[in-house]
A = this chain, B = another copy of it.
């Protein structure tokens, strides 16, 4: 295929083709004309960060992000996040996505968990800055608030980022998590004006949600999200970076990597680019 301008901004987040081994993923992306990939810590750790970086660059691929740090309520969270920063630096990923984590077991202290995220960020941001890695705070859909991410809106993520230089801390705009928010359009404009959009990710919203709700993200175009409106809004806010397709979906995971990528690329052209 011959990628157009927008197509060249496409990046395949590895979790979309979750079971595709890294060497095959790299070859498959190169064959499909894809130029960017977002990677995850577990498979990168297994293959080796520097070796993964070389594998990608050998295939003409830029690593657009590393997923993910965060989970600040866990014991040893700061150390774990420092390791994630180091991995991103070694891999050559410019952005480390942070999912704050939910409430500690048995806790009802939501304000406390949110304050904790701010505290760990204050330690982590300069550490990341020194290593050339930008932290990207990702608000997750409010249905994940108790068990995965106490940062539920773009406005919250921007407030958390505000104390730090924008080169150190930005935010992730993910259509799946933010589509319902009536304030998201003004939030994107504000994020852009402050130079805070570190990453843009796309997935669609479909129902019914599956048990546990984690793997129910929709293929682009299958749901109700105004994906192109989001892409135009981040563009209008001055974002020129990659557009990562990150779709957690059990059906997609059951497909062979090349077919899942082909479907994603075709839907991207149709609904996002």
Q: How far is the CB of A30 from chain B (nearest CB, A)?
A: 33
Q: Are A224 and B103 in contact (CB under 8 A)?
A: yes
- Annotate A131-144 by CB proximity to B: 1 below 8 A, 0 otherwise: 00000000001110
In the complex, per-residue mask of A94-112: 1 if CB is within 8 Å of any chain B CB, else 0: 0000000001000110100
With a cutoff of 8 Å between Cβ atoms, the chain B residues found around residue A210 in the complex are: 211
Given A211-B211, A226-B110: A153 touches B141 (CB 8 Å cut-off): no
Given contacts A208-B211, A208-B212, contact A110 B145 (CB under 8 A): no
Report whether B182 and A156 are in contact in the complex, using a CB–CB cutoff of 8 Å: yes
Q: CB within 8 Å of B: which of A189-246?
A: 205, 207-213, 223-226
A211 to B179, CA, bound (A): 21
Chain B residue at smallest Cβ distance from A226? B108
Distance to closest chain B CB from A151 (angstroms): 9
Rounded to whole angstroms, the CA-CA distance of A119 and B62 in the bound complex is 49
Task: Tell me if A114 is interfacial: C-beta within 8 Å of chain B.
Answer: yes
* Bound-state Cα–Cα, A108 to B205, Å: 10
- At the interface, yes or no: A180 with Cβ under 8 Å from chain B? yes
Which residues on B sit within 8 Å (CB–CB) of A225? 108
* Residue contact A182 to B224, C-beta cutoff 8 Å: no
State whether A209 and B143 are in contact (beta carbons under 8 Å apart), knowing that A103-B224, A153-B182 are contacts in the complex.
yes
Q: Are A181 and B152 in contact (CB under 8 A)?
A: yes
A58 CB within 8 Å of chain B: no
- In contact, B209 and A180 (Cβ under 8 angstroms): no
Shortest CB-to-CB span from A143 to chain B, Å, is: 4
Give the Cβ gap from A28 to chain B, nearest Cβ, in Å.
Answer: 31
Q: B142 near A181 (CB under 8 angstroms)? A: yes
